[in-house]
Amino acid sequence: MADTHGNALPLHRAVIVIGAGTMGGGIAEVAATAGHRVLLRDADADSLARGIARIHAGLDKRVARGKLDAATRDAIVSRIHADDGSAGTADVGLVIEAIVENLDTKVAALTPYAESLPADAILATNTSSLSVTALAARLPHPTRVAGLHFFNPATVLPLVEVVAGPATAPAVVDTLVATARAWKKSPVVCRSTPGFIVNRIARPFYGETLRLLQECAATPATLDAVLRESGGFRMGPCELMDLIGHDVNFAVTCSVYDAFFQDPRYRPSLVQQSLVDAGWLGRKSGRGFFDYREAADAPRP
Ligand code: NAI
Domains of the chain: 14-191 (3.40.50.720), 199-285 (1.10.1040.50)
pLDDT digits (tens, 9 = 90+) for 200-244: 999 999 999 999 999 999 999 999 999 999 999 999 999 999 999
- Residue 59: pLDDT band (50, 70, 90) is very high
Residue 299 has pLDDT above 90, yes or no: no
Catalytic residue among 29, 97, 101, 161: 161
Q: What are phi and psi of 275, to 5 degrees?
A: -65, -40
pTM (predicted TM-score): 0.92
Q: What is the DSSP string of 75-112?
A: HHHHHEEE--S-S--TTEEEEEE---S-HHHHHHHHHH
Closest residue by Cα to atom 43, ligand 1, is 151
How far apart, in whole angstroms, are the C-alpha atoms of residue 212 and residue 241? 15
Mean pLDDT of 8-37: 98
pLDDT of 298 over the 60 cut: no
Position 280, amino acid:
W
Q: Which of 156, 122, 157 is nearest to 141 (CA)?
A: 122
Q: 217 exposed, middle or buried (CB, 10 Å; 0-12, 13-18, 19+)? A: exposed
> Is residue 300 predicted with pLDDT exceeding 90?
no
List 187's β-bridge partners, or say none. 160
Q: Which of 239, 232, 269 is nearest to 252 (CA)?
A: 269
Phi first, then psi: what are they for 283, rounded to 5°?
-55, -40
Q: Which residues make beta-bridge pairs with 154?
A: none
Question: From ligand 1's centre to the CA of 226, what distance in Å?
Answer: 30
Active site residue 97: no
DSSP three-state, residue 155: coil
Check if 274 is active-site: no
Residue 102 CA to ligand 1 centre (angstroms):
10
Cis peptide bond upstream of 166, omega within 30? no
Active site residue 149: yes
Amino acid in position 29: E
Read off the pLDDT of residues 110-122 as tens digits, 9 standing for 90 and up: 999 999 999 999 9
From the CA of 101, give the closest atom in ligand 1.
32
The average confidence (pLDDT) of the chain is: 95
CA atoms within 13 Å, Cβ hemisphere of 267:
8
Query: How would you label 163-200 residue by residue, b for 16+ Cβ within 10 Å and e otherwise?
Result: bbbebbbeebbbbbbbbbbbbebebbbbebebbbbebb
Q: Say if residue 4's pLDDT is above 80.
A: no
The count of residues in the chain is 301
pLDDT in tens, 134-163: 999 999 999 999 999 999 999 999 999 999
Q: Residue 6 — very low, low, confident or very high, per pLDDT cuts 50/70/90?
A: confident
Percent of the chain with pLDDT over 90: 94
Give Cα 12 distance to the centre of its chain.
24
Residues in the ligand 1 pocket, defined by CB under 6 Å = 18-24, 42-44, 47, 98-101, 105, 109, 126-128, 150-152, 244-245, 248, 252
Atom of ligand 1 nearest to the CA of 243: 40
| Residue 161 among the catalytic residues | yes
Question: What's the pLDDT band for 29 if we cut at 50, 70, 90?
Answer: very high
Residue nearest to atom 44 of ligand 1 (CA): 128
What's residue 264's pLDDT? 95
H-only helix segments in the chain: 22-34, 45-64, 70-79, 103-116, 132-137, 170-182, 198-214, 220-229, 237-244, 246-259, 270-278
Rounded distance, CA 106 to CA 239, Å?
28
Q: In what order do the strands lie in the sheet with 159-164?
A: 80-82, 38-41, 14-18, 92-97, 122-125, 145-150, 159-164, 186-191
Task: Please give the backbone phi and psi of residue 177, each rounded to the nearest 5 degrees, phi first.
Answer: -65, -45
